[in-house]
């Protein structure tokens, strides 16, 4: 293996830069020339591919976002787009590719792999944590910490005004961010897409909070919850409890930015290093994760979302502690 390309794709996640750095530095350690592919699959199709130096990845481990930039690329969904990507891989003589991204990235990689035989490994980079085959994805821990910092502040104002806050967090159609952040902020209720939401049960919970003289109440809603987003939930609660002084906060893209946490920097560094080692060991068509603190390999087809389940113990914990 003489040349390896690396790209980031899909929604950016804190720690992606740390992963790129680890790929690049491990390449040089093994006398391999790394290439940066800009804007994910788009750069692969358009030939936006450039050799990287070790210096190019200095001073980026602590930065959020991705210096290789990211995109969600429609052209890669077409056979012609994938053919162009293949042509560029050949043109630049790349012997292997490291793709850092989420579900969409690996679905694309899986299709590409079935058409063209190019060594391809993936690293889980998404704040959503919705990939099977890894306990944590790069960016999830930082996003959790961002949510916690924001909701702690909301709690101060909620307490001062005896208010109910309905806070919406990201996660597309998964509830991982909602569940863990909800436990960490002591939320009175957590609504996730993985379990059916019943507004009457939520109202009963809130009323028992009022009876217990709670000064403030926080409901964390995952953006993909079946009851709708935070505004929808607030509306429905209002129908049952018109006297509640309630407010809605949508945390939005603040959750995707910021300097990666120690957990994410170390996870990304381990995975970036393991990606190059895996290519050198002739592994392909796999996502690399960490399970029980060990590096693991899983076929792209198994990694994609809806396989990963919310931890039942954490769901129960949230229920017990919010009582
Ligand atoms: O997958 C990461 C994520 O932030 C999801 O949590 C969210 O639903 C989505 O991306 C938002 O995507 P975009 O930035 O393209 O609006």
Secondary structure of 56-118 in HEC code, one letter for each residue: HHCCCCCCCCCCCCCCCCCHHHCHHHHHHHHHHHHHCCCCEEEEEECHHHHHHHHHHHHHCCC
DSSP for 24-59 reads HHHHHHTT-EEEEETTTHHHHHHT-EEE--TGGGTT
Q: What is the mean pLDDT of residues 162-170?
A: 97
Closest residue CA from atom 7 of ligand 1: 172
Would you say residue 307 has pLDDT above 80?
Answer: no
Q: What is the mean pLDDT of residues 119-148?
A: 97
pLDDT at residue 305 in the model:
63
DSSP-based three-state secondary structure for 72: coil
pLDDT at residue 309 in the model:
87
Q: What is the mean pLDDT of residues 166-179?
A: 97
Please report the atom of ligand 1 found closest to the CA of residue 255.
Answer: 4
Q: What is the mean pLDDT of residues 308-319?
A: 93
Please report the atom of ligand 1 found closest to the CA of residue 127.
Answer: 2
Closest residue CA from atom 10 of ligand 1: 11
Domains 3-139+260-305 and 142-256 share a fold: yes
Q: Where does the pLDDT of residue 304 fall: very low under 50, low under 70, confident under 90, or very high at 90 and above?
A: confident
* Domain parsing of the chain, residue ranges: 3-139+260-305, 142-256
Q: Where does the pLDDT of residue 206 fall: very low under 50, low under 70, confident under 90, or very high at 90 and above?
A: very high
Would you say residue 314 has pLDDT above 90?
Answer: yes
Residue 260 near residue 142 (C-beta atoms within 8 A):
yes
**For residue 159, how far is its CA from the centre of ligand 1 (angstroms)?**
30
Please report the atom of ligand 1 found closest to the CA of residue 102.
Answer: 1
Which CATH superfamily hosts domain 142-256?
Answer: Phosphofructokinase domain (3.40.50.460)
**For residue 288, how far is its CA from the centre of ligand 1 (angstroms)?**
22
Ligand 1 is surrounded, with C-beta below 6 A, by: 11, 102, 126-128, 170-172, 223, 256
Please report the atom of ligand 1 found closest to the CA of residue 10.
Answer: 1
Q: What is the mean pLDDT of residues 240-267?
A: 97
Q: Which of 11, 181, 254 to mutate to test the pocket of ligand 1 (most atoms within 8 A of CB)?
A: 11
Count the residues in the chain: 323
Q: Is 245 a catalytic residue?
A: no
**For residue 172, how far is its CA from the centre of ligand 1 (angstroms)?**
6
Q: Where does the pLDDT of residue 198 fall: very low under 50, low under 70, confident under 90, or very high at 90 and above?
A: very high
Q: Where does the pLDDT of residue 233 fall: very low under 50, low under 70, confident under 90, or very high at 90 and above?
A: very high
Would you say residue 155 has pLDDT above 80?
Answer: yes
Per the prediction, the chain carries an average pLDDT of 96
Q: Where does the pLDDT of residue 306 fall: very low under 50, low under 70, confident under 90, or very high at 90 and above?
A: low
Would you say residue 137 has pLDDT above 80?
Answer: yes
pLDDT at residue 308 in the model:
75
pTM metric for this prediction: 0.97
12, 128, 141, 264: which one is catalytic? 128
- Choosing among 3.40.30.10, 3.40.50.450, 3.40.50.720, 3.40.50.150, the CATH entry for 3-139+260-305 is 3.40.50.450
Residue 81 CA to residue 122 CA, distance in Å, equals 20
Residue 83 CA to residue 308 CA, distance in Å, equals 32
For residue 125, what are the β-bridge partners? Answer: 138
Q: What is the mean pLDDT of residues 104-116?
A: 94
Q: Which of 64, 65, 170, 304 to mutate to test the pocket of ligand 1 (most atoms within 8 A of CB)?
A: 170
Of 2-16, 174-188, 204-218, give the lowest mean pLDDT range: 204-218
DSSP for 197-237 reads --HHHHHHHHHHHHHTT-S-EEEEEETT-TT-SHHHHHHHH
Would you say residue 255 has pLDDT above 70?
Answer: yes
Closest residue CA from atom 1 of ligand 1: 11
């Amino acid at each position: 293996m003489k040349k390896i390309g690396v790209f980031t794709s899909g929604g950016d996640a804190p720690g992606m830069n740390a992963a790129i750095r680890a790929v690049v530095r491990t390449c040089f350690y093994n006398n391999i020339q790394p290439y940066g592919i800009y804007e994910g699959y788009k750069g692969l199709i358009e030939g936006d591919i450039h050799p990287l130096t070790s210096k190019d990845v200095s001073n980026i481990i602590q930065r959020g976002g991705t210096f290789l930039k990211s995109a969600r690329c429609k052209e890669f969904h077409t056979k012609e787009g994938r053919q162009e990507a293949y042509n560029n891989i050949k043109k630049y003589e790349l012997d292997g590719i490291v793709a850092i991204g989420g579900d969409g990235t690996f679905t694309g990689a899986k299709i590409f792999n079935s058409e063209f035989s190019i060594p391809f490994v993936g690293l889980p980079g998404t704040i959503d944590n919705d990939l099977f085959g890894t306990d944590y994805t790069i960016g999830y821990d930082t996003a959790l910490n961002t949510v916690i910092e924001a909701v702690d502040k909301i709690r101060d104002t909620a307490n001062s005004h005896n208010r109910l806050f309905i806070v919406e967090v990201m996660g597309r159609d998964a509830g991982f961010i909602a569940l863990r952040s909800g436990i960490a902020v002591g939320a009175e209720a957590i609504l996730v897409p993985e379990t059916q939401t019943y507004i009457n049960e939520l109202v009963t919970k809130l009323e028992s909070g009022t009876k217990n003289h709670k000064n403030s109440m926080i409901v964390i809603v995952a953006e993909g919850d079946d009851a709708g987003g935070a505004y929808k939930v607030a509306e429905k609660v209002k129908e049952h409890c018109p006297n509640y002084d309630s407010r809605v906060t949508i945390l939005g893209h603040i959750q995707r930015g910021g300097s990666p946490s120690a957990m994410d920097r170390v996870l990304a560094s381990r995975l970036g290093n393991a990606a190059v080692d895996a290519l050198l060991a002739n592994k392909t068509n796999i996502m690399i994760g960490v399970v029980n603190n060990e590096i693991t390999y899983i076929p792209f087809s198994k990694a994609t979302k809806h396989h990963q389940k919310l931890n039942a113990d954490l769901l129960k914990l949230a229920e017990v502690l919010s009582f």
